[in-house]
Homo-oligomer: A and B are copies of this chain.
Amino acid sequence: MFHLLDIIGTMAFAMSGALTAMNKKLDPFGVFIIAFVTAVGGGTLRDVMIGRTPVGWMLDLKYVYVIIVGFLLALLFRKKMDKLRKSLFLFDTIGLGVFTLVGLEKGINVGLHPIICIAIGTMTACFGGVTRDILCNEIPVIFRKEIYATICILGGIVFFSIKRLVKSKSKQND
């Protein structure tokens, strides 16, 4: 299940990155790089900090393919997606939620403290978008729209509580 979430988040962030870069009028190569960095940035930071190297996307070509698909979709359906994106912040929200969960899961696997896991989840979710905004020379949107980051932290706390409950139950069953 976490695997599927990872794919969905990667796709959502790749599209979000590509759309932002196109609005900045970068050339196609620049658009692809921004899409790539937005999609893998958070996961790369997380893997590097917890010591899972080589980082995830290097060991599995699937991520590269997903990003290419997201990039092409953004290129082809730019206008429709731009509308969705502006009115709903659709792709960012999906990506944030999904990547928070994935980041939490990885933190738990390494055996870190719940609070640290929430920090890792938040970073995984936010870092791609922050890098995108820095590369495009803007103040990161995350610092201007607190609601999304707050949601993603709360989501993390909820997730961790559930996870813990499930774990303690499965231990009782053993």
Contacts and interface: CB of A to CB of B under 8 A. Distances in A.
Interface of A: 21, 24, 26-30, 33-34, 36, 44, 48-51, 53-55, 57-59, 61, 64, 110, 112-113, 115-116, 119-120, 126, 130, 134-140, 142-144, 146, 149-150
Contacts of A24: 139
Contact of A137 (B113, B137, B142): B137
* Dominant secondary structure of chain A at its interface with chain B: helix
Count this chain's copies in the assembly: 3
A123 to B, nearest CB: 9
Given A21-B143, A33-B143, A51-B53, 13 more contacts: A26-B143, A29-B149, A33-B142, A33-B149, A48-B53, A49-B53, A49-B54, A58-B112, A59-B112, A61-B113, A134-B134, A135-B139, A135-B140
Given A30-B146, A139-B136, A55 B49 contact: yes
A138 B113 CA distance: 34
A119 B50 contact: no
13 contacts: A26-B143, A27-B144, A28-B146, A29-B149, A30-B142, A36-B119, A48-B48, A51-B53, A51-B54, A59-B112, A64-B119, A130-B135, A135-B139
A91 to B, nearest CB: 20
B110 A146 contact: no
Contacts of A59: 112
A61 B135 contact: no
Contacts of A57: 116
A54 B50 contact: yes
A119 B139 CA distance: 27
A21 B144 CA distance: 11
